[in-house]
Amino acid sequence: MEDDSSDPMSLFRPPIIRSAGAILDRSLFTKRVPIAAARVLDVKNISRFRAQLEKSKDALRLERLINVRPDPDPALASKGGKCLLLKPEVKPEVPETWSTSLQEAVRAEELKVIPYTLALDYDYWTYHDVMTALLPEEAQEEIPVGFAIVGHVAHLNLREEYLPYKKLIAEVLVDKNAAVRTVINKTDDVGTHSEYRTFGYEVLAGEDDMNVEIREGECTFRFDYSKVYWNSRLQTEHKRLVDMFNPGEVVCDVMAGVGPFACPAGKKGVFVWANDLNPDSYASLKDAITRNKISNFVRPFCSDGHKFIQAAADDLLSLTATHQNTITIPAKRSRKALPTDPIPPPTILTIPQTINHFVMNLPATAIDFLGSFTGLYEGHEALFEPHTQTRLPMIHVHCFSTKSDDNVRETIAICKRISENLEFEIRPGDPEVVVHEVRDVAPKKRMFCASFRLPPEVAFRKRRVSS
């Protein structure tokens, strides 16, 4: 795509450098653009004239570019002389191209319109600018921009047509993202490489260092990105569910990973039974619990999800039966407290005996785990309404489906799959049945979260023992 000479702003596009060998030569991006500048004869007036010329639309307005510059005359610049860059339509030798405001300032001998050569180089251009200049025209229909950043790692999932330029793309990504030190490209689908949702990858730029640290939901996580599952694009979904949980409630996170739901929930005073089958995820989850000082609220487990669903419910009932369902949290002294001030009493919290929410974030297969809720509270009907005010837990199960504009077809299909696994009908449109669109994962594939309350017909049925 060559510069369009009819568009004055085309002057500020990068030079076209088709890289047949997929090699990055940064020096080729230097460009000298002839424009005009307004020399401010008294530097004390620089702010006033900047505002005036921006209002009259004479000033050059470009993203990432400061339009106040040292005077191009070295002698004047050494004395603090400044000038204001002007848009390319303003010609130094053609006063007719100047606005009335600019002409008046020149006549008053406060400004002087002079030629100016604006130097732009590789550091000025954005990632998209550079890739537009480098990639062949046939590869520019959709320049790769869909990458995830996890700590210092940029994770690409390049389409086949971009593979010849993968090293070039990675090199520019590192240049244009200060936080990125390593760029990888996924070489197979999530779950193909491992049952723990990890994936095969190749390093395109930087070191093969996958030990990352990230911060989300006011919590810090450290993990080996090559050994655990993490998706930065789910940050909104993590927050959406955590916002539903109230302090003092109990959440059972069946496929917790390194804790993106569990740890922020624990931070707000929610009790969380957090489980993951992957030993590396479990180790990172324990680290996050310690690192974020939430061990009073979050308990980690490494177990099969089918068994954990029932075990977590039984564990809470057992804690209540054995009077081990209280937690004592020592009070913190105020910074203003004197040594002689009495120590405040500790806070004593009681863990409820039943679970309020189940989170099942394993979209490929989570619905298949729903059979384990059969008989979850068999024989404990008296703990729930109408005998008490306690309600049966909400279940939030993530899944994949097709995609459409209104999601009606998908909602019906998801509820049908849930019903088959529960052996009880969950109907779209019921007050507590919500199928929430999470994100698109492919051109014809979408991730959803189906939320519904566990039916008493399922919860109090004869328990199905998980194998």
Least confident of 142-146, 228-232, 386-390, 410-414: 142-146
What are 345-364's pLDDT values in tens digits?
899 999 999 999 999 999 99
Mean pLDDT of 62-66: 92
Residue pair 203/186 in contact (Cβ under 8 Å)? The answer is no
pLDDT more than 70, % of the chain = 95
- Confidence band, pLDDT 50/70/90 cuts, at residue 6: low
Query: Is the pLDDT higher at 185 or at 464?
Result: 185
pLDDT computed for residue 344 by the predictor: 85
CA distances from 307 to 303, 319, 382, 467 (A): 7, 18, 24, 8
Q: Which CATH architecture has domain 228-331+342-459?
A: 3-Layer(aba) Sandwich (3.40)
CA–CA separation, 105 vs 89, rounded Å? 18
Is 173 labeled as ligand-binding?
no
Statement: residue 392 has pLDDT above 90:
yes
Q: Which CATH architecture has domain 127-214?
A: 2-Layer Sandwich (3.30)
Is 246 labeled as ligand-binding?
no
Is 238 labeled as ligand-binding?
yes
Is 361 labeled as ligand-binding?
yes
pLDDT computed for residue 135 by the predictor: 86
Where in the chain do CATH 3.40.50.150 domains reside? 228-331+342-459
Where in the chain do CATH 3.30.70 domains reside? 31-120
pLDDT computed for residue 208 by the predictor: 94
CA–CA separation, 432 vs 78, rounded Å? 72
**Fold category of 31-120 in CATH:** Alpha-Beta Plaits (3.30.70)
Average of per-residue pLDDT values in the chain: 92
Residue pair 106/99 in contact (Cβ under 8 Å)? The answer is no
Q: Nearest-CA neighbor of 351 among 319, 375, 306?
A: 319
Where in the chain do CATH 3.30.300.110 domains reside? 127-214
pLDDT computed for residue 38 by the predictor: 97
Question: pTM of this prediction?
Answer: 0.85
Residue matched to tokens 């062949």: 136
What are 400-426's pLDDT values in tens digits?
999 999 999 999 999 999 999 999 999
Rg, C-alpha atoms of the chain = 31
| Partners of 27 in the β-ladder | none
